[in-house]
Amino acid sequence: MKYGSQTTLKDHVSLEGIGVHSGKPVSITLHPAEPDTGIIFQRTHLEGGREREIPALHGSVIDTRLCTVIGDPARGSVGTIEHLMAALRGMGIDNVLVEIDGPEMPIMDGSSRAFVAAIDQVGVETLRVRRRLIRVLKPVRVDLGRAWAELLPAERGFQLDVEIDFDTPLIGRQRKVLDLTPETFRKELSGARTFGFVKDVEQLWKLGLALGSSLDNSVALGEDRVLNPEGLRYPDEFARHKMLDAVGDLALAGAPLIGRFRSYCGGHRLNFMVLEALFAADANWTILDQPVRRETGHAELSAGLAVAAFAPDTN
């Protein structure tokens, strides 16, 4: 991610779809936002006609089991935010108000492609305020069984190195390394779809989850083959989607990161945990190019960390 000015959208744009877990229709509208707003989710149609704004920050995270969820179950929350967050961070969008009329983002085709198309439809506006960046100063690492994730210092930009290892020849061991820019995100990551095993999805159906999952929005894996008639979009689509999820989850840092991210058999839980580890000590990070309109210190980003309800990722 380059230095420079903050950005937003030139106009509002709306999308409609279904929630992958609820199976219910949901509409979102992406609105331009003022400098230093960041990404804010505005839940509408809450009980009693209430609305609630939820900042897309790691301190707002309340669950990472099946997807990344921010907010408060009692007052309003939004789930499955990672694909939109990946599109916004990947395409270099700093400030957006996301109006949403339900508790879950639309899954669209299971990737970030529809959100990138929406950004392209209205265009990007450059704002006359400098972009804030977060530089990783010291290595931080988290482990969870054989899985791990870490953030490392780098001189410039943001690089991801994601490796997965599944005990099935349909996936096996895959690794993807990428320097994140709008160009590489669009070409290499935006179209990578979420995936899952049919046997696991059937169990989720019994629990009243994944009700919107279908071959239209997921790569479905049977015992010995990919069930989608069109097959895979990339030979390593599984690793690419894990990287897409990481881009979206790490966007909850609140500003683009300068550093390197590495993970092995990671997922939403580890992505969140490594952000917690980064912000656990001021010595781990610093802010570069602070906005000129408002002072921002370490406490603003690292305060109010929520404890996520941890459980294994399923996609």
Q: Binding site residues for Zn(2+), as ranges? A: 83, 241, 245
What distance in Å separates the CA atoms of residue 2 and residue 189, rounded to the nearest whole number? 18
Which of the following is catalytic: 31, 45, 268, 298? 268
What distance in Å separates the CA atoms of residue 151 and residue 139, rounded to the nearest whole number? 6
Sequence-ordered list of residues with C-beta below 8 angstroms from that of 44, at least 6 positions apart, any chain: 51, 99, 100, 101
Binding residues: 83, 241, 245
Virtual torsion, Cα 185, 313, 141, 301, nearest 10 deg = 70
- Packed helices 237-250 and 268-279: angle between N→C axes, nearest 10 degrees: 40
Residue 268 appears among annotated catalytic residues: yes
Q: Which amino acid is at 39?
A: I
What distance in Å separates the CA atoms of residue 256 and residue 249, rounded to the nearest whole number? 12
Residues that are catalytic: 268
